[in-house]
Amino acid sequence: METENPLKEPEKKEELLKEAKSEEIKETKEVKDAETVKKPYYVGAHVSSAGGAFNAVENASLIGASAFALFLKSQRQWAMPSLKPGVAEKFKEAMTKHNFTADQVLPHGSYLSNIGTIDETLYEKARTAMLEECKRVEALGLKYLNVHPGSTSGKCSKEESIAQIAKAINFIHSQTSYMTIVLENTAGGGGTVGVDFAELRSIIDKVENKNRIGVCIDTCHAFASGMDLKKKNGIQSIVEEFDKVVGLSYLKAMHLNDSMGAKGSNVDRHDRIGYGYLGLDPFRQIMNCDALRGIPLILETPHRDDAAYGADHPWAKEIVLLRGLEGKEEVEEINKGAIQSFFGKKGSKKAAKKKGEEKETKEKDGDQDYKEEEEAKKEPAKPKESKPRKACKPKKATKEKKETSTKKAL
């Protein structure tokens, strides 16, 4: 039987070429259309879950958040209480009611768990506690558990600690179904692991199921560890470095915090957005970086512990402030009015402290900080301790370099 030669049918060949070209154009258009549909910036805060995890959803909604973080148990206790009847259902109902998905929620693990230790007793205790939290994540229909990688505790090398961390993660993965463990970068000091992207990558390299591991970049920690977020295009540089060393597919979330400590100070002290060493511009850059769309951007900034959730809550105001930075090429045009109208005139914090009218609580974001803060609560603050920064006056702007009007000299 003679095989049909398509060359004998030029019309048919031309038709096939047109069809192929049409499909190529269609595919290219679909790709371009998909690229133009950008995901939103999911901005929120680490809200209280007191009274039940479902209350965290309500609190997030009250401050206008499109993302939130919460503790799944008391961050200062080992035991994981059993879920009370109906809590998981109420949580899921609240999530549906307020249009939150699992991708917008970043539960935070206990500060007690140090899976980087070589002390076998403590290691087993930490691994078990973290496993229980991971199981709770799945029970609530969530996706992530944000954890501090761990510490050498001065008893082993970083390499040994990294091996311990990865071993615990692999074990937890074997005991759970789908959830992802999200490693947070640290400010440095105290033998903490995860100070730079290379250390985080070293952990990931040893994790067997790489589809269930991720990273959360904390802006305060990054700056305190020595990363220059404050320079021009600093955020873009950090994102590019992360992509080069770790890979953007592993970036699952960010913590948005200004820093009370200078660059490279290893001081893990969060400040309000625009009030610390970072100033507003790095956050403007974040809110205009497409690589950071579609992931939880979580505030852990300090505020009064008696602040009621609602439009007047400091986090609600910071969320509005951050959203106002989207599309801005410069921060100066919104700097002066925005910060002062949101948080009061500069110096009001200092005056309130003198009168004893203001008591701020900080997000306790590391074991090395917690004891100091708890002791400060128990005893009356000494005059010098009442001023975490020596001066609350802003530095004068120069023609060469205009800083945000909210920067305070420390």
Catalytic residue numbers, as ranges: 76, 108, 111, 148, 184, 218, 221, 255, 268, 270, 300
Q: Which amino acid, residue 297?
A: L
CB count in 10 Å sphere of residue 204? 18
Provide CB contacts within 8 A for 124, sequence distance 6+.
none
Q: Measuring CA to CA, which residue among 308, 339, 304 is closest to residue 321?
A: 339
- Environment class of 64 (CB within 10 Å of its CB; exposed 0-12, middle 13-18, buried 19+): middle
Residues 6+ apart with CB under 8 A from 388: 260, 269
Instruction: Give the Cα-Cα-Cα angle 113, 161, 114 (nearest 5 degrees).
Output: 5
Q: Angle at which helices 158-175 and 197-206 pack, to 10 degrees?
A: 50
Q: What is the helix (H) or strand (E) element at residue 60, kind and residue range? A: helix 53-62
d(CA 136, CA 132): 6
C-alpha 153/C-alpha 157 separation (Å) is 9
